[in-house]
Amino acid sequence: MSQQVAVVTGAGSGVGRAVALELAGAGWQLVLAGRRADPLRGTAELIGAAAPGGRPAAVVPTDVTDPAAVDALFDGTAGRFGRLDLLFNNAGTFGAPTPVEDLGYEQWRAVVELNLTGAFLCAQGAFRLMKAQRPQGGRIINNGSISAHVPRPHSIAYTATKHAVTGLTRSLSLDGRPYRIACGQIDIGNAATDMTAAMTTGVRQADGRTAAEPTMDVADVARTVRHMAELPLEANVQFATVMATAMPYIGRG
């Protein structure tokens, strides 16, 4: 696995950091992308501490909503490593919980730009590189969400974008077939990260109550992504749902 190269977006914290650490531990060469340089360097330092003497992870601060920045990310990956084997398309945001009637246009646009447009731009950049390289092919894993299936209250922008990510995954899977480009999606529920810290103190439920929800170790998500990533290109996990066992998903609403 030491020759395989992965780009992880949103790699400075949470799920992205956990996946980067898991892949690095398995011998992957990592390109860490995200808006903020300092958290990315923190992830790179953790990777270096876990595997002293190994090749350092590349840190590439990137605004995934900026086409020029995304082009630079993948052009730089090709220039440095010669190829790309995996994109973990992970950058995203919840946005503030807001009733439909109160959601401002700029709030809507910010979530759509990051969760959908950013995911598309990164997938497009990876697809172009994987199609052009020799040997041809690679894998894209999109971070969907439980909200790609069912919503939380006051989450219309997030839910709409995550449903759209499912369409992105399906289209990439179909369009990638002639070029040995596989695409799958992982839908995550209540992994314990800074973004989900409120789950343990109380979040709004469909019946209007506020209640704490169970969480799971984010490392369990990372191991699932690694399993998906290390399959041969002749096999693909199209969709995987990984969630805290007792969270209110089945029967939500």
Mean pLDDT rounded to a whole number for the chain = 94
Whether 158 is catalytic:
yes
| Euclidean distance between CA atoms 247 and 80, whole angstroms | 42
Instruction: Report residue 81 as tokens.
Output: 């490593």
Read off the tokens for 57.
């992870």
Q: Over the stretch 2-25, which tens digit does the pLDDT of each residue have?
A: 489 999 999 999 999 999 999 999
Distance CA 196, CA 22 (A): 20
**Domains in the chain with CATH codes:** 5-243 (3.40.50.720)
Give the separation between CA 218 and CA 191, rounded to whole angstroms.
Answer: 5
The letter for the amino acid at 241 is T
Question: Phi and psi of 137, rounded to 5°?
Answer: 115, 175
Q: Please, which pLDDT band fits residue 251 given cuts at 50, 70 and 90?
A: low
5 forms beta bridges with: 29
CB 172 within 8 A of CB 124: no
Residue range 137-192, pLDDT digits in tens: 999 999 999 999 999 999 999 999 999 999 999 999 999 999 999 999 999 998 98
Pick the residue with more confidence: 97 or 198? Answer: 97
Query: What pLDDT is recorded for position 1?
Result: 41
SS (H, E, C) the chain: CCCCEEEEECCCCHHHHHHHHHHHHCCCEEEEEECCHHHHHHHHHHHHHHCCCCCCCEEEECCCCCHHHHHHHHHHHHHHHCCCCEEEECCCCCCCCCCHHHCCHHHHHHHHHHHHHHHHHHHHHHHHHHHHCCCCCEEEEEECCHHHCCCCCCCHHHHHHHHHHHHHHHHHHHHHHHHCEEEEEEEEECEECHHHHHHHCCEECCCCCEECCCCEEHHHHHHHHHHHHCCCCCCCCCEEEEECCCCCCCCCC
pLDDT for position 252: 56
